[in-house]
Amino acid sequence: MSELSPPAPVAVAKIAGVLRRVGWLERIGMAGVLLITLVAIFGPLLTPFDPMLRVADAYQAPDLVHLFGTDEIGRDLFSRVLLGIRYTWLPGLAVIAIALVIGTAIGVFAGMMGGWIDMVIQRLVELFLVLPSTLIAIAVIAALGPGLVNTMIAITIFWWPWYARMSRDEVRRIRARPHVEAARIAGVKGPRLMLRYLLPGAVPTLLVAATLDVANIILMLSMISFLGLGLPAPAPELGAMTARSVDSLTVYWWLPILPAVAIFLMSVLANLAGDGVRAAMRGA
């Protein structure tokens, strides 16, 4: 009786195949994005001090106790940056998810229906795309009132058209494939044709675009926060923390620099992770 070696788990083999297609920088980005997400979720449990209360003298330079120093009130800056990651990263992911769902649904519907429906939807999408989205988003936030939810709404309004155009183009390309033509001849139509044959083919391209957009959303959220249109003080938003202390750059450098570095690192890691997803999808 011969011994049979157990086959490797399919999931492990697939993950190993994906990682072989991804460079080491992209792997660092993916690991960094996972770490940032965990910090954003569990941030309140990780802060060594209460980020809202004074815990030491004001303007203490970074040391072993207060790793990022203290702010103008005496609050621990490291704790505030950890919590600030939560107020930037999770809303950014939420904006991407909402815009992706809305844009994909509209784009797939337009690409599947064609004709005048497709034309009307495309003209609407083009109207949104030609507008100065950043300036109008700021105007929308100013009209609705400062706040995180209003900021997310304003950005989502002007972000979904990119996914709508992309998904529409992908669906139009996939419609010409033989297996989709065969399904239509066999009588498959409506939601079944959309969900089973058209949408799965568009998902890889949309997923890559969404991961590459995370850094852009993070920077836009931080910019709006920097302008004072995000959560009101004393909420530890990274952009607002940088704006409030930028005048102290030459004296208390850690106050504007370290929150800005956190924004920069999140953006870089998100871009590297997006490149990794693109490399993985390219060989899928």
Dump pLDDT digits (tens) for 178-223: 777 787 777 777 777 777 777 888 888 888 889 989 999 999 999 9
Structural domain count of the chain: 1
**What's this model's pTM, rounded to 2 decimal places?**
0.84
Residue 268 half-sphere exposure toward CB, CA atoms < 13 A:
8
Domain that holds residue 173: 17-282
Tell which residue, 207, 201, 234, 220, has the closest CA to residue 75. 234
Does some domain include residue 11?
Answer: no
Return the biggest CA–CA distance within the chain. Answer: 79
The pLDDT tens digits of the residues spanning 83-123 come to 999 999 999 999 999 999 999 999 988 888 888 898 999 99
* 192 in any annotated domain: yes
In a domain, 4, yes or no: no
Domain of residue 256, CATH code: 1.10.3720.10
Query: Cβ distance 129 to 162 under 8 Å?
Result: yes
6 located within any domain: no
Q: Is residue 237 part of a domain?
A: yes
- Whether residue 5 is contained in a domain is answered as no
Is residue 74 assigned to a domain?
Answer: yes
